[in-house]
Amino acid sequence: MTTFVEGTAPVTDNPPEGPRRGGRPGRAKRIVQYAVLIVLTILFLSPLIYMAVTSFKTQADAISPEPQWIPANPTTSAYDVMLGSDDTPVLRWAFNSVLAATAQALLVVATAALAAYALARMDFRGKRLIFGTIVATLFVPAVILIIPNYIIISEFAWLDSLTAVIVPGAASAFGVFFLRQFFTSLPEELEEAAYVDGAGPFRIFWSVVLPLSKPALATLALLAFLTNWNDFLWPLYVLFSAEQQTLPAGLATLQNANAVRYDLLMAGAMIAALPVLLLYLAAQRFVIEGVSRTGLKG
Amino acid sequence: MTASPSPFSRRNFLGLSAAVGAAGLTAACGGGTSGPPGTEGGGGGGGEFTGEYTGPNVTLQFWNGFTGGDGPFMKKMVDEFNTAHPNIKVTMTTIRWQDYYQKVPAAVVSGQGPDVGIAHQDNLATLAARRSILPLDDIATELKLEESDFIPAVWKGGIYQDKRYGIPLDVHSLGQYWNTDQLTKAGLQAPPANKEEFDQAVSKMKSGGLQNPFWMPSLWPAHLIFYSLIWQNGGTPYSEDGQSATFNSAEGVEALTWMVDQIKNGVSPRNVAIDTQYNAFKSGRNAGTFDGIWQINDLKATAPKLKWALAPVPQIFDQPAVWSNGHNFVLMSQKKADDNKLQASKIFINEISEKSAEWAKSGMVPARNAAREDASFASQTQASVVKNVDIFRFLPSVPGIGDVGFQGIEQAVNKATLLQQEPKQALDTAAGVANKLLEENRKKFGG
Amino acid sequence: MATVETLPTGQDTLQPVRREGGKRTSRYGGGWVPYLFLLPYLALFTTFVLVPIVLGIWISLHTWDFTLPRKPWAGLGNYKDLFDSSSVVGPDFIRAMKATAIFTVASVPLLVVIPLAVALLMNAKFPGRNLFRAVYFAPYVLGVAVIGVLWRYLLDNNVGLVNNYLGKIGLPDDIAWTTSTPAAWVALVGVTVWWTLGFNAVIYLAGLQDIAPELYEAAKIDGANGWQRFRNVTLPGLRPVLMFVVITTIIASANMFGQSYLITQGAPGNETRTAIYYIADTGLKNFDMGRAAAMSFVLTVCLLLLSAVVMLAFRERKPKGLAS
């Protein structure tokens, strides 16, 4: 049974504190623990800091043999180029990514919730078949869908449009499975009560079930958002012109075969990373908790 | 039990799904409703070519790969064209070249391709075989273009299966760039013109303290250097008809060996990663590099303090020769022919290709003789590589030659320059791969 | 990915209300209502999952070039070509599968173990803990493109940070991280671990916190030391989470594309070109879709087998009387 715990649960006052360590935390152990964590932090943060710093270097400084943690000639020229060039509308890419990820997340949640509710609470012919088929595709790797979907998208003339990045991946078998689990775990009394009051199925779904399911819906939406945001291969091949690119695909086009410019590359990466990082810092607890719930299949 | 009168009984539902599925299947089976584009000719309709467009307002989609320093020059010409022709609006889209040849055919198949485009000469055959572009013999006639107007090899290079698919815009080749301060320091007035001078130059620079005066790349443009050398040596990368690989001949092995020797003898460092030789040139860590003339504007813009000179690649072997390619105008296949757009496209192509002297500012060599012989061209940096147009060599017009090169020669040059394989072995293996691919392409595209 | 073994058995829907005539309805929707609910999802599902699977099989049985009109029947020819070392694609396909295998074998153990260690470290409440958690999860949020581009720079042979600092501590400073093997593999695995460690660690952390502390107390009372508690309390308690992490990590590693595309471009030669990269190259760049579809099915079958093996391995051990 999945248990949804609101908020984090670091509540135990007798924490197991890593069974490896054993016993109460001695000072030495604490120091070692912090030392490891600090090393980890350095390993994680320093590349990101270097990326930020390099985005303010001149091209020459970016390829200087001695790495500069403080630019010798700080400049915003890389940003000027990236933001001003028609070939690389980075802000437009960011916008496209946000649009695509949000749209797909909404589509995923909407379609999966409706389907999951029917599978959880209703009885009808073909139910086993349908559910079985959906579950079966959970194990089918996405790779076999790439080529045929490309053809289908081409037939629909969706190439080079955000629709191609939003719609095909919106059928989430995982979403249906996940939400169905959740719906069946809800006590039926509330739905019963609504039924007795004369509410029809959609009403019950909309007014009773959905509000109760906010954590699950939010988790699914978040996962769908992240998955679409990070999608790289598909947008790389179905999007053509500069204005239609999403961030990952657009960034990849910066690696020009003839002249790799690290200062521009880092500036582009920064523009791509900054909004996400800020959003993440703001919603960090929510994001992390949402992700952590996916592993809990009670 | 199907007593339910509802249209959504299971049987009907499954039927619906099957119908959708079948529709998907048949659509795909029939090669797509896109039909076989490219059967239309270049449209010789509409009387005498006057250079004037008198039809209704029309928008042309123009795709090219000018994402580097050359982009702004083309954009400027496009803007000027738009101003001069109020009833034609040309929208330019740039897609970097390595993605361009994947996206163009896909877009055309899906009916979302552009109207006009630029294509490299060595890709014309592939695009034509994939039915992405239309023959434009009629346009060439209408615009009164003939071989005598162009460099012969370039003019002829636009033909595939006896039809013309490209109107040449420019030629670009490999050149050698040298740091003039380093040259002076080594007591030289000009970049080396042949093998002896090259050896002399690098050894003087080495003894003058520059550890690696010349960096041999292992990826782009290493195979272009190889092509140049094998042609110089009297060999050819492919047979005349482009049907078999001949780069593993003795001449080819010698060519690749010369390249590898620069690494083995310490002139160049090992494992030169992509672009690093060019970046090293810009930052003064080496003294010379071979690269395309398309780098001219990038050098001027991003290494303004560097003093450099451009010259034709040194003649290491018997003949002067250099790998070259060229940009051509092409007309894209459409699901539905639009005569107005066709007319507008012709005018666009004609005007821009006439301005190829203007285009020379991008660092390219105009394909039109008139533009090259024009006084304004002589002052361009790249004029220094054009003393003798016969040195320009081009790959044969064979569909799929790009991929054959990628899987064959490029792998061989890569392995040899990374010192992972001996030149002869690398080339022999690559020739095997290339021949297989050429054979398969023949079957696929019909020669 | 969900674990099938935890499908709730027994009552999962309301009992249908039986009426005269045997018509089956339920109080939450009878007749065509369920189908209406299912329609949006099934429309997408059919068009973009079911039809493609069938279409993919169909394509793989033809010589199918996206841009050419003729698509002649090829039977199993495409599949045969994949394993024929004298064919045009055979050697490359084997090399691509090998690349995928190398990467998966090298990365999965690290991606399963290291995040667990980090999660164990983080399992106690201590000041700054949320900050640390945010830090090591941050790379994952940035996405493969930012990471790939960044590490391409850091791993640059000549101007990259990595070689520079290696040189400073006395190790060779000219390792060709992006142009030679095995350095390229070390680089790709290293970058992947750096990038996704946080994701797995967060999932482990949630799983660890689900383990009832009383179990640890009981074990301590029984005299178990740290390692024994880990083996007998933590690991069994983490079993479903472990299985989840292992399977998802294997699948993610087998599908590795972005790192290879951005950092090594498949070099040297095609040695680091993974199977999925090769499939994309073959089908979407060279338009040889028949072969690409065949390749994707072969890869799929391998992945399915692998998943089955992993699930079997995890099912064998019976939980020692603990709720799983």
Q: Which tens digit of pLDDT belongs to each residue from B120-148? A: 999 999 999 999 999 989 888 888 888 88
pTM for the structure as a whole = 0.84
Spell out which residues of chain A touch residue C25, defining contact as CB-CB under 8 Å.
123
Q: Is residue A225 part of a domain?
A: yes
Which class for B388: exposed (0-12), middle (13-18), buried (19 or more C-beta within 10 A)? Answer: exposed
Percent of chain C with pLDDT over 70: 88
Tell me which of B13 and C219 has the higher pLDDT.
C219
- CB-CB contact of A54 with A74 (8 Å): no
Is some CB atom of chain B closer than 8 A to the CB atom of A66? no
The pair phi, psi for residue C24, each rounded to 5°, is -95, 120
Mean pLDDT value across residues A232-258: 85
- Partners of residue B178 on adjacent β-strands: B288, B309
Q: Worst-scoring range by mean pLDDT, B82-86, B203-207, B405-409, C317-321?
A: C317-321
Task: Please indicate whether, in this complex, the C-beta atoms of C34 and A122 are within 8 angstroms of each other.
Answer: yes
DSSP string, chain A: -----SS-----SS----TTT-SS--HHHHHHHHHHHHHHHHHHHHHHHHHHHHTTS-HHHHT-SS--SS-SS--SHHHHHHHH-SS--HHHHHHHHHHHHHHHHHHHHHHHHHHHHHHHH---TTHHHHHHHHHHHHTS-THHHHHHHHHHHHHTT-TTSTHHHHSGGG--HHHHHHHHHHHHHS-THHHHHHHHTT--HHHIIIIIIHHHTHHHHHHHHHHHHHHHHH--HHHHHH--SGGG--HHHHHHHTS-SS---HHHHHHHHHHHHHHHHHHHHHHHHHHHHHHHHHT---
Spell out which residues of chain B touch residue A240, defining contact as CB-CB under 8 Å.
93, 95, 99, 103, 106-107
The Cα of C9 is separated from the nearest Cα of chain A by a number of Å equal to 11
Q: Tokens 């994309």 appear where?
A: C280
Spell out which residues of chain C touch residue A154, defining contact as CB-CB under 8 Å.
66
Q: Is residue C183 part of a domain?
A: yes
Query: Is residue A77 located within the same domain as residue A102?
Result: no
CA–CA distance, B67 with A261 (Å, rounded to integer):
13
Is some CB atom of chain B closer than 8 A to the CB atom of A259? yes
- Residue C22 pLDDT class (50, 70, 90 cuts): very low
The pair phi, psi for residue C202, each rounded to 5°, is -65, -40
Q: Worst-scoring range by mean pLDDT, B124-138, B295-309, C73-87, C121-135?
A: C121-135
Tell me which of C26 and C150 has the higher pLDDT.
C150
CA–CA distance, B310 with A261 (Å, rounded to integer):
22
Q: Of B183, B177, B134, B106, nearest to B338 (Cα)?
A: B134
What is the b/e burial string over C71-83, where b = at least 16 CB atoms within 10 angstroms of the residue's CB? beebeebbbebbe
Give the model's pLDDT for residue C114: 93
Does C143 have pLDDT greater than 50?
yes
Sign, Cα dihedral of B316, B320, B321, B322: positive
Give the model's pLDDT for residue C28: 63
Give the model's pLDDT for residue C320: 53
Query: Is residue A95 located within the same domain as residue A77?
Result: no
Query: Is residue A206 located within the same domain as residue A118?
Result: yes
CA–CA distance, C182 with C99 (Å, rounded to integer):
11
Please provide the distance, in angstroms rounded to a whole number, between the alpha carbons at the two ends of chain A: 4
Mean pLDDT value across residues B151-159: 89
The Cα of B100 is separated from the nearest Cα of chain A by a number of Å equal to 8
Percent of chain C with pLDDT over 90: 40
Give the model's pLDDT for residue C219: 85
* Cα angle value C89/C92/C93 (rounded, 5°): 80
- Residue B49 pLDDT class (50, 70, 90 cuts): low
Q: Is residue C11 part of a domain?
A: no
Q: Which domains does chain B have, with CATH numbers?
A: 58-171+325-383 (3.40.190.10), 173-324+396-445 (3.40.190.10)
Does A297 have pLDDT greater than 60?
no
| CATH code, domain carrying C177 | 1.10.3720.10
- Residue A86 pLDDT class (50, 70, 90 cuts): confident
For residue C16, say if its preceding peptide bond is cis, omega within 30 degrees of 0. Answer: no
Q: Which tens digit of pLDDT belongs to each residue from C284-318? A: 999 999 999 999 999 999 999 988 888 888 875 55
Q: Worst-scoring range by mean pLDDT, B171-180, C186-195, C223-232?
A: C223-232
Write down the mean pLDDT value for chain A.
83
Query: Is residue A228 located within the same domain as residue A163?
Result: yes
Give the model's pLDDT for residue A5: 37
Give the model's pLDDT for residue B48: 52
Which H helix or E strand runs over B183? helix B180-185
Q: Which residues contact B203 (CB under 8 A, 6 or more apart)?
A: none
- CB-CB contact of C123 with C205 (8 Å): yes
Give the model's pLDDT for residue A22: 46
The domain boundary residue, chosen from A84, A105, A122: A84
Q: Which tens digit of pLDDT belongs to each residue from B181-237? A: 989 988 888 899 999 999 999 999 998 888 899 999 988 899 999 999 999 999 999
Q: What is the Cα gyration radius of chain A?
A: 24
CA–CA distance, C191 with C147 (Å, rounded to integer):
8
User: Chains with 3 or more CB pairs closer than 8 angstroms to B?
Assistant: A, C
Percent of chain B with pLDDT over 90: 45
- Chain B residue with CA closest to C266: the answer is B411
Q: What single letter denotes the amino acid at residue B300? A: K
- Residue C319 pLDDT class (50, 70, 90 cuts): low
Mean pLDDT value across residues C108-132: 87
- Residue A64 pLDDT class (50, 70, 90 cuts): confident
Q: Which tens digit of pLDDT belongs to each residue from A155-172? A: 998 998 999 999 999 999
Q: What single letter denotes the amino acid at residue B430? A: A
| 3-class SS letters over C37-71 | HHHHHHHHHHHHHHHHHHHHHHHHCECCECCCCCC
Q: Of B395, B431, B396, nearest to B411 (Cα)?
A: B431
Kindly report the number of other CB atoms within 10 A of residue A1's CB atom. 11
Nearest to A255 among C257, C262, C276 (CB): C262
- For residue A68, what are the domain limits? 27-84
Task: Please indicate whether, in this complex, the C-beta atoms of A126 and B285 are within 8 angstroms of each other.
Answer: no
Q: Worst-scoring range by mean pLDDT, B305-314, B315-324, C9-18, C159-168?
A: C9-18
Spell out which residues of chain B touch residue C88, defining contact as CB-CB under 8 Å.
433, 436-437, 440
Give the model's pLDDT for residue A259: 58
Give the model's pLDDT for residue A123: 86
Task: Please indicate whether, in this complex, the C-beta atoms of A146 and C120 are within 8 angstroms of each other.
Answer: no
Query: Is residue A80 located within the same domain as residue A105?
Result: no
Domain count, chain C: 1
Q: How many CB pairs under 8 A join A and C?
A: 367
DSSP-derived 3-state class of residue B151: coil
Q: Of A232, A245, A210, A62, nearest to A142 (Cα)?
A: A232
Give the model's pLDDT for residue B27: 36
Query: Is residue A115 located within the same domain as residue A52?
Result: no
- Residue A294 pLDDT class (50, 70, 90 cuts): low
Task: Please indicate whether, in this complex, the C-beta atoms of B109 and C286 are within 8 angstroms of each other.
Answer: no
CA–CA distance, B70 with B73 (Å, rounded to integer):
6
Query: Is residue A241 located within the same domain as residue A94?
Result: yes
Q: Is residue A168 part of a domain?
A: yes
Q: Which tens digit of pLDDT belongs to each residue from B251-278? A: 999 999 999 999 999 999 888 877 888 8
Q: Is residue A267 part of a domain?
A: no
The Cα of B13 is separated from the nearest Cα of chain A by a number of Å equal to 10
Task: Please indicate whether, in this complex, the C-beta atoms of C211 and A16 are within 8 angstroms of each other.
Answer: yes
Q: Is residue A43 part of a domain?
A: yes
Write down the mean pLDDT value for chain C.
84
Q: Which tens digit of pLDDT belongs to each residue from B379-407? A: 888 888 888 888 899 999 899 898 899 88
Query: Is residue A148 located within the same domain as residue A213?
Result: yes
Task: Please indicate whether, in this complex, the C-beta atoms of B276 and C158 are within 8 angstroms of each other.
Answer: yes
- CB-CB contact of C26 with C14 (8 Å): yes
Is some CB atom of chain B closer than 8 A to the CB atom of A171? no
Query: Is residue A170 located within the same domain as residue A194?
Result: yes
Task: Please indicate whether, in this complex, the C-beta atoms of B112 and A259 are within 8 angstroms of each other.
Answer: no
Q: Is residue A296 part of a domain?
A: no
| CATH code, domain carrying A172 | 1.10.3720.10
DSSP string, C169-234: TTS-S---TTTSTTHHHHHHHHHHHHHHHHHHHHHHHHHHHTS-HHHHHHHHHTT--HHHHIIIII
Query: Is residue A54 located within the same domain as residue A126?
Result: no
DSSP string, B25-36: HHHHHTT-TT--
Q: Is residue C154 part of a domain?
A: yes
Query: Is residue A224 located within the same domain as residue A109?
Result: yes
Q: Is residue C66 part of a domain?
A: no
- For residue C175, what are the domain limits? 89-316
Spell out which residues of chain A touch residue C40, defining contact as CB-CB under 8 Å.
110-111, 114-115
Give the model's pLDDT for residue A24: 53
Query: Is residue A65 located within the same domain as residue A116?
Result: no
Task: Please indicate whether, in this complex, the C-beta atoms of C145 and A232 are within 8 angstroms of each other.
Answer: yes
Kindly report the number of other CB atoms within 10 A of residue A91's CB atom. 12
Give the model's pLDDT for residue C187: 94
Q: Is residue A1 part of a domain?
A: no
- CB-CB contact of A178 with A297 (8 Å): no
Nearest to A20 among C120, C132, C143 (CB): C120
Does B3 have pLDDT greater than 70?
no
- CB-CB contact of C235 with C97 (8 Å): no
Q: Is residue A143 part of a domain?
A: yes
Mean pLDDT value across residues C209-228: 84
Q: What single letter denotes the amino acid at residue A238? A: V
**Quick one: DSSP state of residue C87?**
S
**Quick one: DSSP state of residue B331?**
E
Task: Please indicate whether, in this complex, the C-beta atoms of C161 and A47 are within 8 angstroms of each other.
Answer: yes
Give the model's pLDDT for residue B350: 86
The domain boundary residue, chosen from A38, A59, A84: A84
Give the model's pLDDT for residue A34: 83
CA–CA distance, A21 with A34 (Å, rounded to integer):
14
Spell out which residues of chain C touch residue A100, defining contact as CB-CB under 8 Å.
none
Domain count, chain A: 2
The Cα of A67 is separated from the nearest Cα of chain C by a number of Å equal to 6
Q: Is residue A183 part of a domain?
A: yes
CA–CA distance, C205 with C196 (Å, rounded to integer):
14
Give the model's pLDDT for residue A10: 40
Interface test with A, best of B9, B103, B364 (most A CBs within 10 A): B103
Interface test with B, best of A241, A243, A245, A264 (most B CBs within 10 A): A241
